Amino acid sequence: MNSPVRAWGAVGGEPRFLVRGRGAYVWDADGNEYVDLVCAFGPLIAGHAHPDVLHALSNAARRGTGFGAPNPVEIELAEAIVEAFASMEKVRLVTSGTEATMTALRIARGATGRARIIKFDGNYHGHNDGLLVRAGSGSATLGVPSSAGVPEGISELTSVVDYNDIEGLEASLRADPPPAAVIVEPVAANMGVVPPVPGFLEKVVELAHEVGALVIFDEVISGFRVARGGAQERYGVHADITCLGKVIGGGLPVAAVGGRAEYIDLLAPTGPVYQAGTLSGNPVACTAGRETVRLLDEAAYATLESRGERLENGLREIIASSGVEVCVQRVGSLMTLFFGVSEVRDFRDASATDTAAFARFFRKMIDGGINIAPSQFEAWFLSLAHGDAEIDRILEVAAHALSS
């Protein structure tokens, strides 16, 4: 495995090796067909191998796969991002979400002259040393590393509070030393889909600014996914710095960090905060992102919302008649079924789920031709390629999986 999230250790069995995708479907090396609810863990919001994206990619590759110099398509993608996000005046393209969050933290520390960062338990921001911390509940709790190889001296600069916990956040913000930034998934999607409670995001921004800290929204998953302008558009709140990924690459490695000009101008070569990357703004990758973003108009989001609602309502009906304790949580085209609980508001709730029940459900779904992520704590991703036929098939297999 080149990424642990692809392993089946939590569900049992042998991972399927996928060799082809088209629209809402993927096929494994043995020729089995699946309706795909992984969509490469989010980037493929238009579906697999969309013809417009493939045509543009073919033309871009024939012109050259990289130049080590500015190119027009990276500017076009950056302009589309800035147009979509009201909080962004400038953007720096990078190659991964991990690189985007790492750069965002460096900007925040450079802007404030402070070192401490506050994150939320159960939020994942890539495998940066300082963010691989999940210290559990408690206000102003100093983190301990959750990965070997992370020095405690680095993790001690990260404080952890519960997601959706305003009181815990306020206590941590007012603790010493003063924080440089609060980083948050505005729609949590790495402990399963957990939406912000009403007013939570607004209070994150308000309280952080009261103590001179910046607010970083990690919209690597939610950006261009839950709305064209991400969670910030959906919930009407703006961050100082935003991290994007997944959809803006259309299946190729592109990510971004953006925000107000005064912060992005701190990056080299205009400022003292260093960041660089050989493949940043790669023309082929940016072409995939540009073409994908072009497909995401108002009608596209209406389609994603209606299909998400149809799938959610169908699952709720099945669950109600099955007698199995499962809750469905959805934001737009993101969805998770949590087993053994009635609601999930934070990581403690997520940790109380019945992972053995999920593993049984997973195996029945995959055997029935529905490809979902092999973890209770991952999201289902719908795409524009998922139509009524695919949703009907998902519901049919889910009904069997929950009743047997």
Nearest to 263 by CA among 280, 239, 287, 229: 239
What is the phi/psi pair of residue 239, to 5°?
-95, 165
Give me the amino acid identity at 32. N
Give me the amino acid identity at 401. A
Please, what is the Cα angle at 75 between 72 and 76, to 5 degrees?
A: 90
Among 165, 218, 240, 349, the one annotated catalytic: 218
Three-class secondary structure assignment of the chain: CCCHHHCCCCCCCCCCCEEEEEECEEEECCCCEEEECCHHHCCCCCCECCHHHHHHHHHHHHHCCCCCCCCHHHHHHHHHHHHHCCCCCEEEEECCHHHHHHHHHHHHHHHHCCCEEEEEECCCCCCCHHHCECCCCCCCEECCECCCCCCHHHHCCEEEEECCCHHHHHHHHCCCCCEEEEEECCCECCCCCECCCCCHHHHHHHHHHHCCCEEEEEECCCECCCECCHHHHHHCCCCCEEEECHHHHCCCCCEEEEECHHHHCCECCCCCECCCCCCCCCHHHHHHHHHHHHCCCHHHHHHHHHHHHHHHHHHHHHHHHHCCCEEEEEECCEEEEEECCCCCCCHHHHHCCCHHHHHHHHHHHHHCCEECCCCCCCCEECCCCCCHHHHHHHHHHHHHHHHC
Among 246, 263, 301, 349, the one annotated catalytic: 246
Among 34, 36, 90, 124, the one annotated catalytic: 124
Q: What are the CA-CA distances from residue 222 to residues 43, 330, 366 (Å)?
A: 10, 12, 26
Whether residue 218 lies in the annotated active site? yes
Residues carrying an active site annotation:
124, 218, 246
